[in-house]
Structure 1
């Protein structure tokens, strides 16, 4: 039975059988039926006859013009909506499935039933592939949209995570060992003044479309990154990129940068194939090819499908594929199973969720924060006003009332060893005094944020209202988050930062085009910050560099340019037999090393 036919049936039932139900004859004019079906009376007759053939209705047309027809609905609305929603989701049409349930699922029972079905649909399972062989797939639901797969334009953590599945960088940062390790480059070196860097490429690394990686691909990638991209800050001091042979790249800088190899660990420095990009860049981004552990098989508004790269130079992934389903927010499906980072394993006979699941928690290296627009007229121009809002936002109360993954009050970008003990000061009386000093007249403040932060924004609005500050919340999503006009319109923006590469990501916060901190900073403060960054990059020791970066952070806090709010944790839950689960620095599951233990044996530790 076609989904479109069922949707027509459910629409008619909702329109004409409300309060009547199944099996009761209902008299209705054919013109009314045609109007409800959005077609002519002639086509309405055809549709109704097909519904009758499918066993959905019994229909007796009225005799003569103006006489009423008689229609009997035979299928229960909720049961039919649930059945078709499962069929749609099973075919990968998640958006249609959720929209259908949102429109026609009349009670909690149908949504509960769909949630139960999702527990078997999402997760890790073996299936028969198109060539009749068994394939191991991991299906994950997410409720954030993919904005871009272009490393040069990446801004959000989810986008960065997917880019890291498709592309590799010259080098990568090992957070546990706190050092840069080889990736596409097997070795690298720099001049004594850190202004000339050489990267030596591996042999036998191939892009997904079969082209072997050469120095020309690296040169093309870095030169493209210099052409006014959102992440051009990464190569701000680069004056020349040259191929010194087929497998050596030379990068010359205008100023010393002793952590330039750390810069090359950034997602934005992912290496692209010159041949495909120069042939047709627009076509390339519809199905980009990198050198990463997974290849893009399919991408649409409902799902992203990845296949394992069989020739991956660091070893093939254990999984055969990953399917990431976009579960739209606000469709009335509040499912405990629709977690962004949930990993499950299923037995087709299993009907109840096993309680003995393993859990993995990590403290995200970042925080939620609120940045004030110093480049727009409004009450936020007053430092006294900004400091007042900082003082009235009681972080401990926010954590207590909102709970979930909010864990520590923040006074800086990253949590540290003392975050669990730290209390960020809140003082309502002083906040009122500062509001008077600012001459605040009750003008409303526009607060822009994404759906992901809507609860936090609502809490901030309620808290500000207690002090006479009206807050107008406006939602932004997708490309709107990068629109300069949207950013300029906001008095303040609430969002989160997650530092995948520690110091480099911290510098990115100040320098990236479209970064909310960068776009909202007072010009003099921004210029001062960029000067401090140059000093930090030239610093002889990590301690000197850390001192300069913390000095910048201190000034943001002292001027209340940024209000640091909450440190959060990321977590996942999964069956014990699912192995290789680890949360990346971006807070997502690294797909490459996930595998299933099916024989009951305990793997040896190495």
Structure 2
């Protein structure tokens, strides 16, 4: 089927045969057809001839003055539409496929039929490539676009997850074991004061474009990170970065930091190839080269393709490739991570159609929250007003009414063992008293949020509206625009901790972080001093206590409103192995494999 010709057929069908049965003659002129197809009458005749050859239409030209021509559509619209959308999806043209259905399939079941077909299209497949070798590919639909792959400027959890597929950092943090493990550095140490750290680089680690990683690449990447990047905070106390010999990196700090190696395990401190970035950075980010388990391939508005790094120093991935398909939420996708229940192997399903799927479920290490803009005049400047909003939000009702992945009420960043049992205070009477004491005069509040949290924001706006607090909800999908942060009275968003302590510190120090940007400068300065004290502590218990002081002050002074803890999950065939969730809440690709069906 020729895509252009098929789309022209659908255009003609919509214009002249909508609501009619196929095989019904329609009187039409060449001029009307030309207007519909935006072409000349001569070209219309060529188009009709091709459609007749395909068996899609019958065309009977009118003979004599005043006799109109007749056009007979022989193929039902939905059949043509579904087949064309499927062909587009098979080529990776997901957005045009949804747009086509949105344009021509209104009021028909074709959208649902296409969604059902997509569930079979996505998942794990073993395919024959060029008739020579089998390749294992995982195709996953997501609503979350990739904003950037530059580790130094990553804001979103999905971006950070994709960075982990392409790049590596000096060391890694094993969250399950709670310990540091080697990365690009095979060993490391610090002096007694933890002000001088040394990282010893592996030999034989190559970037995807074939060049061996050197100490020069590491120093370049860290120096690049130090200045003007969102995550420059990772290195704010660094005095000097230098090489010792040919394969050792020495980093000197102005202050003690006993978890600096944890800082260096952040994917935001990934190592880039100096040669390519310096040569043409704009071109580099269109197809970045790293040292990670997968290599970047085609990247457009429809999909992002990863291919396996066969020479990965830490062991080749079992998959040969991953295709991330970007599903437009406004045109048919319904969940944030559409790959839930789609981690399937279709050969295994065919062999064992009745076999029960396994489910992997994880409570995310983080929460949704509201931050109040203390740099803007408005009711939020009053702690009494902020506390009143906290008391008006009945989180347990919110969970019951909105459902989905919303699990527990939050009173802090992280869930703990008591989270399922904890009852967060909801007290409208006290809230009203606080509003009166604050002298609140009904001034509207502007709440900004992204599409994924829009229902939560509207729910809060509706409840506050019942108590005379008008909240104007504004949807934004590019949080990097600084003016949006400045304009908002409050922002509703979700935070995920890939590493507890490091990510918590990131929230207070990352340039562009909503929490940091909305806090008063005096609070930020105080928090920075507490952070310096925490990272100098000798025990995790002492660090937790000091960082807990910052969180406690946020809660007591209502600088933030902690809302909900959410879950993430995936269902998959038991024959698919190695399914694990990263701390960021996304499926790790490297260790996914299939146990072959043996009969």
Q: 1:105: which partner in 2?
A: 105
Residue 365 (structure 1) aligns with: 365
8 Å contact 1:341–1:588 — kept in the other structure?
A: no
Q: 1:227–1:62: structure 2 CA closer, same or farther, 3 Å change rule?
A: farther
- CA gap of 1:100–1:250, structure 2 versus 1, over 3 A, is same
Residue in 1 that maps onto 2:460: 460
Q: Which residue of 2 aligns with 1:604?
A: none
Please give the alpha-carbon distance, in whole angstroms, between the structure 2 residues aligned to 1:361 and 1:587: 10
CA gap 1:565/1:356 in 2 versus in 1, 3 angstroms: same
Residue 548 (structure 2) aligns with: 550
Summarize the Cα distance change of 1:306–1:65 in structure 2 as closer, same or farther, 3 Å threshold. Answer: farther
- Contact 1:219–1:241, Cα closer than 8 Å, also in 2: yes
Mapped partners of 1:548, 1:256: distance in 2: 15
Q: What secondary structure, in the 3-state scheme, does the structure 2 residue paired with 1:571 have?
A: strand
Q: Where do residues 295-314 of structure 1 align in structure 2 (5 Å cutoff)?
A: 295-314=295-314
Give the secondary structure class of the aligned counterpart of 1:204: coil
Q: Is 1:590 matched up with 2:588?
A: yes
**Partner residue in 2 for 1:507:** 505
Tell me if the contact between 1:137 and 1:321 (Cα under 8 Å) persists in the aligned partners. yes
Contact 1:216 1:246 in 2 (8 A): no
Give the whole-Å Cα distance in 2 for the aligned partners of 1:371 and 1:507.
Answer: 16
CA separation of 1:442 and 1:35: change in aligned 2, threshold 3 A: farther
Q: Is the 8 A contact 1:365 1:499 kept in 2?
A: yes
Aligned 1:389-400 pairs, distance under 5 A = 389-400=389-400
The question of 1:153 aligning with 2:153 is answered yes
* Mapped partners of 1:339, 1:175: distance in 2: 24
Q: Alpha-carbon deviation of 1:64? A: 7.1
Shift of residue 53 of structure 1? 3.0
1:441 aligns with 2:438: no
Query: What residue is the counterpart of 2:476 in the other structure?
Result: 476
Question: 1: distance between equivalents of 2:516 and 2:135?
Answer: 46
- CA offset digits 1:265-300 (Å, max 9, x no partner): 111011111121122212211111111111112111
- Per-residue CA deviations over 1:11-55 (Å, capped at 9, x if unaligned) read 222222222232222223433332322334443443333333332
Map of 2:88 onto structure 1: 88
Confirm or deny: 8 A CA contact 1:194 1:257 kept in the other structure: yes
Q: Structure 1: how far apart are the matches of 2:413 and 2:406? A: 15
Q: Work out whether 1:401 is the aligned partner of 2:401.
A: yes
How far off its partner does 1:241 sit?
A: 0.9
Alpha-carbon offset, residue 600 of structure 1: 4.2
Return the alpha-carbon distance in structure 2 between the equivalents of residues 278 and 417 of structure 1.
48
| Higher deviation after alignment, 568-577 or 105-114 | 105-114
- State the match for 2:140 in structure 1: 140
Cα deviation digits, residues 318-361 of structure 1 (max 9, x gap)? 11111111111021355899335841110298399646000111
Q: SS of 2:240's equivalent?
A: strand
Which position in structure 2 is the counterpart of 1:428?
A: 428
Is contact 2:318-2:590 (8 Å) kept? yes
Residues 1:492 and 2:476 aligned together: no
Q: 1:352 to 1:578 in 2, by over 3 A?
A: closer
Distance across 2 between alignment mates of 1:130 and 1:474 = 50
For residues 422 and 28 of structure 2, the distance between their equivalents in structure 1, rounded to whole angstroms, comes to 69
Q: CA deviation at 1:66?
A: 7.8
CA deviations over 1:68-97 (Å, ceiling 9, x no partner) = 443222211111111111111111111111
Q: Structure 2: how far apart are the matches of 1:440 and 1:351?
A: 66
Aligned to 1:317: 317
Deviation at 1:125, TM superposition (A): 1.1
Given that 2:78 and 2:108 are in contact with CA atoms closer than 8 Å, whether structure 1 keeps it comes out as: no
- 1:107 Cα deviation after fit: 4.4
**8 Å Cα contact 1:215-1:248 kept in structure 2:** yes
RMSD: 2.1
Judging changes above 3 Å, is the alpha-carbon distance between structure 1 residues 141 and 202 closer, same or farther for their aligned structure 2 residues? Answer: same
Q: Secondary structure at the match of 2:388?
A: helix
CA displacement, residues 391-441 of structure 1 (integer Å, 9 cap, x when unaligned):
111111111111121111101111112111111111111112222222223
Superposed, 1:19-418 pairs within 5 Å as 19-62=19-62, 68-107=68-107, 109-130=109-130, 132-334=132-334, 338-339=338-339, 342-347=342-347, 350=350, 354=354, 356-418=356-418
Indicate the SS of the match to 1:563. Answer: strand
Q: State the Cα distance separating 1:65 from its structure 2 match.
A: 8.2
Distance 2:379 2:31 in 1: 58
**Contact 2:349–2:573 under 8 Å retained in 1:** no
For residues 353 and 3 of structure 1, the distance between their equivalents in structure 2, rounded to whole angstroms, comes to 34
Query: What SS is found at the alignment partner of 2:479?
Result: helix
Alpha-carbon offset, residue 599 of structure 1: 3.8
In structure 2, the CA distance between the partners of 1:341 and 1:457, relative to structure 1 (3 Å rule), is farther
Preserved CA contact (<8 Å) 1:30 1:68: no
**What's the TM-score, normalizing by structure 2?**
0.96
Deviation at 1:135, TM superposition (A): 0.5
**Structure 2 gap segments, 5+ residues each:** none
Deviation at residue 152 of structure 1 after TM alignment = 0.4
C-alpha separation in 2, matches of 1:180 and 1:492:
37
Aligned length: 599
For normalisation by structure 1, the TM-score amounts to 0.95
Does the residue aligned with 1:456 lie in a helix, a strand or coil? helix
